[in-house]
Amino acid sequence: MELLSAYLKKAIPGVNDAWNKGMVADLALTITPELIFFDKQSLLKGDMTFVWLSWFIESIYDYNLAPDNIVYADVFSLVRRGLLKSGLSEDSEHFVVIWKNVSKVIYTFICRMQGRKRQSVTKTLKEDLVSLAQNDLKCWICGYRFSHDSIQLFLNQPGSIQLPSLVDYLSPRGLVERDLKIEVEHKQPFSSGGGDLDDLDNIDLSCGYCNRHKWKFLSIYDANRSLRSFSHSRLGLVSVPQPYWVIRLLALADRCTEAGCTVTKNKQQLYVDFINDIGSAAPTNLKVVCRKHLRNSGDRFVSAVNFKDRTKKGRRSLL
Ligand SMILES: [Zn+2]
Ligand SMILES: [Zn+2]
């Protein structure tokens, strides 16, 4: 708590002084206490690293500009020029290692991206994925169990999706039919160089809701940061998270976080809930739980009618 107190004393004046470069420099030197992250330190720091790393590598050479016939030697040479132009010195004993690593990652990415055409999902692949799941077909992200009809439709057999009359206001799966259908999901998005359908490590089955909100995001910071609210008929105005925050938390979770609970995603669908119910639905204030451990589960599932009209987007975050 001492570190948090010292940190807040230094950081809070920055709330109204974010255009002061001295303040920005001061904040950069401030050690961020663990308590700021609640229990999400690894996620929040790890995902920030993806953003920093991506910007660093892209700054050395913009691989989107690479010609179609580029070979490794060209990339190697461009990366050396990029590193030098970025101010890194060739005199350093570490230069070559950095040069090789950056060249390798950029070249691999270019190879994955160039001339790629999405493979189409065949009936055979669908059947293989269904049998791989051994009759326990679920979304790899949220653990939602697919209905008999959604499996039928996935296998190009007759079936129909029944939309539920109630949806979870923190994660409204089931407002459209797609949400409840089975989709073949690329864990690392195909559009970002992730392996296609022949890479079984990169594909899995997901519900349409998770797939649609995961989209091409990776880091939790990739989604819009503004808060949302929902007009709940019994609770009044309540805070709701950006859909992708829920997806990222659920995808990384394998079990309910309630102490002593043994429910895993392999057994049941998982949900997010507030840690502090009067705080906003920021990623730091959300926890992953099973259905039994939802706080006030009676209030969680609300009428799907006019759901969208009762959601307000774009509430400002503090900073
Ligand atoms: Zn899902
Ligand atoms: Zn539980």
Tell me the CA–centroid distance for residue 182 and ligand 1, in Å.
Answer: 9
Tell me the CA–centroid distance for residue 154 and ligand 1, in Å.
Answer: 15
Give the number of the ligand closest to the Cα of residue 212: 1
pLDDT of residue 192: 77
Tell me the CA–centroid distance for residue 256 and ligand 2, in Å.
Answer: 5
pLDDT of residue 297: 87
Tell me the CA–centroid distance for residue 281 and ligand 1, in Å.
Answer: 19
Query: What pLDDT digit, counting tens, does each position of 50-60 carry?
Result: 999 999 999 99
What is the percentage of the chain residues whose pLDDT exceeds 70? 98
pLDDT of residue 188: 87
Q: Helix (H, G, I), strand (E, B), or coil: what is residue 14?
A: helix
The per-residue b/e assignment along 32-43, b for 16 or more CB within 10 angstroms, e otherwise, is eeeeeebebeeb
Tell me the CA–centroid distance for residue 136 and ligand 1, in Å.
Answer: 14
CA dist 187 to 135, 211, 306, Å?
22, 9, 32
Tell me the CA–centroid distance for residue 113 and ligand 1, in Å.
Answer: 27
Q: In whole numbers, what is the pLDDT of the chain averaged over residues?
A: 92
Tell me the CA–centroid distance for residue 293 and ligand 2, in Å.
Answer: 5
Q: In terms of residues, how long is the chain?
A: 319
pLDDT of residue 191: 77
Give the number of the ligand closest to the Cα of residue 259: 2
Give the number of the ligand closest to the Cα of residue 258: 2
Tell me the CA–centroid distance for residue 173 and ligand 2, in Å.
Answer: 20
Cα(152)–Cα(200) distance, integer angstroms: 22
